[in-house]
Amino acid sequence: YTRDTSFLAMVVDIVQELKQQNSNLVYVCDPVMGDKWNGEGSMYVPKDLLPVYRDKVVPVADIITPNQFEAELLTGRKIYTEKDALEVMDMLHAMGPETVVITSSDLQAPLGNDYLIALGSHRKTKADGTRMTQRIRVESPKVDAVFVGTGDLFAAMLLAWTHKHPNNLKVACEKTVSAMQHVLQRTIKSAKAQAGEGNKPNSAQLELRMVQSKKDIENPEIIVKATVL
């Protein structure tokens, strides 16, 4: 998250310099620009950051994790259907990243209104030089609470699990999203206990229980499955 174009330009310089020293370095970019509330999207950073993300930052990223609104901003294309989302991810691939995960969307989940859809796409080059794309859908239970740091946790775990499963986005996303669910459920349980019966937990009580979730982060039980599209 930044509100300054010069900061973004420096990120690009640093990534390029590090990749010159280590071509295997993997850069994950979460292009934090805005989100949708009640179906309406709005930016919470200055608009002049968008062209810098689109033209300079995304092209040097290996993995990007935009939400639906951010994916729409980067491509100039609205998402109304899953087909639209897949085409938007192809447009994002064309900008540079081999892995694209739209972390949240307002698409209708096949499992029902209590579920949130994330979509992922991974392009890889096979031994014979041909390219193939793996696309997945993940439906995770909606959580009725506001947390701080979930995007950071998601990006960090996606980096870790794609490193362990470099050519299996399905497994990497299942482990990432399952671990997220374990952390969030543990956080809610703890927050409600602190707030007391009938009271709504405050932001301090909803601080993510990451240390307490160490085992779930390291080796999560898979409770959210991905569907290959």
Tell me the domain boundaries of the chain.
5-228
Instruction: Tell me what the mean pLDDT of segment 19-30 comes to.
Output: 96
pLDDT tens digits, 58-69: 999 999 999 999
Active-site pick, 128, 144, 152, 216: 152
Task: Please provide residue 224's backbone torsions phi and psi, each rounded to the nearest 5 degrees.
Answer: -125, 120
Kindly indicate the confidence band of residue 31, based on its pLDDT and cuts at 50, 70 and 90: very high
Exposed e or buried b per residue across 70-96, where buried means at least 16 C-beta atoms within 10 angstroms of its C-beta: bbbbbbeeebeebebbbebbeebbebe
pLDDT tens digits, 81-90: 999 999 999 9
Task: Please provide residue 200's backbone torsions phi and psi, each rounded to the nearest 5 degrees.
Answer: -85, 125
CB 183 within 8 A of CB 190: no
Across 109-113, 143-147, 161-165, the highest mean pLDDT is recorded for 161-165
Domain 5-228 in CATH 3.40.1190.20? yes
Rounded to two decimals, what is the model's pTM? 0.91
pLDDT attached to residue 40: 82
Choose between 37 and 181: higher pLDDT.
181
Structure tokens at 101: 């995960």
Is residue 144 flagged as an active site residue? no
| Residue 116: strand pairing partners | 140
DSSP label of 12:
H
pLDDT tens digits, 122-150: 998 777 888 899 999 999 999 888 898 99
Q: Is the dihedral of CA 70, 106, 164, 178 positive or negative?
A: positive
Q: List Cβ neighbours of 66 (8 Å cut-off, separation of 6 or more).
A: 30, 31, 73, 74, 92, 100, 102, 103
Which strand (E) or helix (H) includes residue 163? Answer: helix 150-164
pLDDT tens digits, 8-24: 999 999 999 999 999 99
Q: List Cβ neighbours of 44 (8 Å cut-off, separation of 6 or more).
A: 33, 34, 35
The Cβ of residue 48 has, within 10 Å, a number of other Cβ atoms equal to 11
